[in-house]
């Protein structure tokens, strides 16, 4: 009997198979061991979109809980540049409180503390939400510091509290607030009186403001672990393990096709394989279905991911991306300029636009003066949909 489609391209969805993360898991286990000795070494997990950062953080949460630690996982929302710092602090304290086994009751230490700061606690128990009294002036750093201390006090003698903050790039518009987080986690009252470990997850481009040489935030959240794509062996194993006991098989020629088009990108593997799975005939997916599968996959990725990646790029940048999309391998700027002429695209300011596209991680420069769109599916999508 054929089972429902096991491939899960939705971002953050728990994968059916968990592979090729031994290095990151060993590093996390080491940080937990250090935390037992009251040595908190906060760090950042970087990676491009869709490589599995969220799934790994969720694994860390379960692993920490199995080892007797309290663990809070949440994704932080995006904030505009001019948001008040107090709103970010309230958002953080609310997310941490909800994610921990912490039932707020009237009269509790944390409840009284928040009300004393002018924070209205709406509801009690695990569905607590906070509202700020705008008539009271707050010191955001003190609010976060004392909030974390009081949350610690509400828990019953924990080994430690692991705080897993996903999508930290959403703070890139308010980089100043990361200084608040650093100052709070560096405070003696946190170091001596609590046992928190913060692990942040961010896209590489979102963390760039903090990767500048000698930036204090970049130095504080070290080491910086970068989550890589799967290699060919693990890509094939992922497909085999996911298909196991489903009643569906892929023709062997499909495996190199999937690898060539995704280069081990986890989200793209699941996206392409999900489409292929639904094209099976009596439990077999034939190589002859690749054309249709690719078309459907590009449509799906375009609506869910690629148009978001391209959002904010100027018309000129998109035209240059179109010119670059004709090259399967890194092309010299002279060849890109020639292709632009063929497409009747103005070549003025090409170097400047290429730098912008590099900063946005839309293109790669593996060697001097040579550029290409590293993600094959993105290249194909641009070539087919942005002419």
301 and 256 co-located in one domain: yes
Q: Which helix (H) or strand (E) holds 63?
A: helix 53-66
User: Nearest-CA neighbor of 100 among 171, 153, 38, 39?
Assistant: 153
Question: Could you tell me if residue 14 is inside a domain?
Answer: no
- pLDDT tens for 72-81 read 999 999 998 8
State the pLDDT at residue 216: 85
For residue 114, being part of any structural domain is answered with yes
29 and 101 belong to one structural domain: yes
Q: Which candidate, 51, 83, 307, places its Cα nearest to that of 203? A: 51
Q: Are residues 137 and 246 in the same domain?
A: no
* CA 172 to chain CA centroid, nearest Å: 13
204 and 238 assigned to the same domain: no
Q: In this structure, are 257 and 303 located in the same domain?
A: yes
pTM: 0.83
Indicate whether 78 and 117 sit together in one domain.
yes
For the chain, give the longest Cα–Cα distance.
73
Q: Which of 199, 226, 253 is the last residue of a domain?
A: 226
Tell me which DSSP letter residue 125 carries: B
Measured CA to CA, the distance from residue 157 to residue 147 in angstroms comes to 17
Give the pLDDT of residue 104: 65
pLDDT of residue 126: 46
**How many domains does the structure of the chain reveal?**
3
- Decide if 6 is inside a domain: no
Is residue 375 assigned to a domain? yes
Whole-number Å distance between alpha carbons of 13 and 3: 18
Classify the C-alpha dihedral 69-75-78-84 as positive or negative.
negative
- Residue 211 and residue 241 in one domain: no
353 and 328 part of one domain: yes
Question: Residue 36 is part of which domain span?
Answer: 22-226
Whether 301 maps to a domain, the answer reads yes
Q: Is residue 4 part of a domain?
A: no
SS3 state at 269: helix
Sign of CA dihedral 11, 12, 16, 21: positive
Chain position carrying tokens 């593996």: 366
The DSSP annotation for 302-359 comes to: IIIIIHHHHTT--HHHHHHHHHHTT-SS-EEHHHHHHHHHHTT---TTHHHHHHHHHH
> Which positions of the chain have pLDDT values less than 50?
125-126
Measure Cα distances from 233 to 6, 194, 229, 255, 277 in Å.
Answer: 20, 43, 12, 10, 20
Side-chain-side CA neighbours of 34 within 13 Å: the count stands at 14
Residues 304, 320 share a domain: no
Domain termination site, one of 252, 281, 309: 309
Domain boundary among 309, 326, 349: 309
Q: Distance of CA 234 to CAs 51, 209, 264, Å?
A: 13, 32, 8
Give the CATH number for residue 353. Answer: 1.10.10.10
In a domain, 85, yes or no: yes
Interatomic CA distance for residues 50 and 9, integer angstroms: 9
pLDDT score recorded for residue 172? 84
> Measuring CA to CA, which residue among 374, 254, 245, 260 is closest to residue 309?
374
Instruction: Output the six-digit token pair for 213.
Output: 């040489």
Q: Tell me, what CATH number does 68's domain have?
A: 3.40.50.300
- Shared-domain flag, residues 127 and 175: yes
Asked whether residue 368 is assigned to any structural domain, the reply reads yes
Same domain, 107 and 178: yes
Q: Does residue 61 share a domain with residue 101?
A: yes
């Amino acid at each position: 009997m054929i089972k429902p489609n096991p491939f899960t391209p939705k971002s953050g969805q728990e994968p059916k198979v968990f592979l090729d993360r031994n290095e990151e898991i060993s590093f996390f286990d080491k940080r937990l061991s250090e935390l037992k000795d009251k040595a908190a070494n906060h760090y950042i997990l970087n990676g491009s979109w869709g490589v599995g950062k969220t799934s790994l953080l969720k694994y860390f949460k379960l692993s920490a809980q199995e080892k007797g630690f309290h663990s809070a996982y949440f994704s932080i929302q995006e904030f505009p540049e001019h948001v008040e710092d107090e709103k970010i602090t309230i958002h953080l304290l609310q997310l941490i409180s909800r994610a921990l086994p912490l039932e707020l009751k009237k009269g509790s230490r944390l409840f009284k503390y928040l009300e004393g700061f002018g924070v209205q606690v709406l509801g009690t128990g695990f569905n607590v939400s906070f509202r700020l009294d705008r008539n009271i002036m707050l010191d955001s750093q003190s609010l976060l510091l004392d909030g974390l201390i009081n949350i610690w006090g509400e828990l019953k003698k924990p080994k430690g509290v692991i705080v897993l903050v996903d999508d930290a790039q959403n703070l890139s518009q308010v980089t100043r607030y990361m200084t608040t987080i650093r100052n709070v986690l560096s405070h003696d009252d946190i170091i001596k009186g609590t046992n928190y470990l913060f692990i942040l997850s961010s896209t590489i481009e979102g963390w760039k403001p903090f990767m500048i040489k000698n930036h204090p935030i970049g130095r504080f959240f070290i080491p910086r672990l970068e989550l890589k794509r799967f290699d060919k062996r693990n890509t094939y194993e992922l497909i085999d393990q996911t298909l196991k006991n489903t009643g569906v098989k892929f023709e062997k020629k499909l495996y190199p096709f999937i690898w060539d088009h995704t280069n081990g990108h986890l989200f793209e593997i699941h996206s392409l394989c999900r489409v292929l799975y639904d094209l099976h005939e009596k439990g077999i997916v034939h190589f002859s279905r690749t054309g249709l599968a690719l078309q459907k996959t590009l449509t799906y990725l375009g609506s869910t991911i690629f148009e978001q990646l391209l959002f904010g790029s100027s018309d000129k940048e998109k035209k240059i991306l179109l010119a670059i999309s004709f090259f399967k391998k890194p092309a010299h700027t002279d060849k890109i300029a020639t292709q632009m002429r063929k497409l009747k695209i103005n070549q003025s300011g090409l170097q400047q636009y290429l730098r912008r596209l590099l900063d946005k991680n839309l293109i790669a420069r593996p060697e001097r003066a040579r550029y290409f769109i590293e993600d094959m599916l993105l290249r194909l999508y641009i070539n087919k949909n942005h002419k």
